[in-house]
Amino acid sequence: SECERLTLLASESTCPRGLKVRYAFKAGVYAEFRQDWTTAVRRYRLAYDSIPDVTPDVTPQDVIETLEVSQVLHVKLCVLLLHSGSSVEAVHQIEEHMRRWSTAPLKALPREALPTFHRWRSHQYDVFGDLLNGRLPAPAPVGTPRTHLPAFYFHAAAHCSIERRQAFDTVVDSNEVPEMEVKVEHASFVGQLKVAGTDDEPLTAEQYMTYLRVKDTRDDISRETIELLTKAHDHYKTNSAGTAGG
């Protein structure tokens, strides 16, 4: 089958990691289409584990693209794990996901890119909280560990959003706002941007950094932070009676 063919290609030792990710992801999509959840998880796991690690010599554009690709595969894994009732494995996945991608990018990215990085971190927690919220009963059963509650992740998302605001303030306070000379839109591939109206013409390094600088506002970040804190508070109130330490 096509799934098996792609899996064989991804498993070859000579297959570059970028292609390995692509082949394994496509194999996962085929398996998911057949509702073969176990195989889909294995293929998405192979793709996720094959994503190249971030190193100090990687460009900011490539770091952000890597994070976006990891997010797509991470969410696929979490959705399937929760769908199959494996909430413990899903929690382990988010923990490993954040552990893997929280340190190296922080060291590799310039400070102008850190607000975007912290927004990405916040989004990981927020999405996982929503996924849990769609699968677990409310209020939670007595003895449910806090790490299995949506509010735990909404609160973590809010904390990352606060770090985003701090990183944004650091950049704003030390630089004048640059002018963006071109319009920007999403390109054909996950995590990539292009000059609007072109056939995937990439941004220059300078254009990319300018885009990261001007796309956020202090008011937007503050509003998103308040929304996340409120979301966490509301969910904690709903589930406070049934929680256990954890």
Query: Is residue 240 over pLDDT 70?
Result: no
pTM, two decimals, is 0.91
The confidence score (pLDDT) of residue 38 equals 95
Tokens (6 digits) for 65? 């693209």
Query: Is residue 245 over pLDDT 60?
Result: no
The confidence score (pLDDT) of residue 173 equals 76
Q: How many residues does the chain have?
A: 246
CB crowding 134-155: b at 16 or more within 10 Å, else e = ebbeebbeeebeebbbbbbbbb
- Name which residue leads in pLDDT, 70 or 189: 70
- The identity of residue 55, as a single letter, is T
- Alpha-carbon span 35 to 38, nearest angstrom: 9
74 alpha carbon, distance to own chain's centre: 7
Which residues does residue 186 pair with via DSSP β-bridges, in sequence order?
193
- For 7-63, the pLDDT digits (tens) are 777 777 777 788 889 989 999 999 999 999 999 999 999 999 999 999 989 999 999
- For 144-169, the pLDDT digits (tens) are 888 999 999 999 999 999 999 999 99
- Angle, vertex CA 96, rays to CA 190 and CA 25, nearest 5: 35
Provide the H-helix boundaries in the chain.
2-11, 17-33, 37-50, 60-83, 87-101, 104-108, 114-133, 150-174, 205-214, 218-239
* Residue for token pair 């932070």: 225
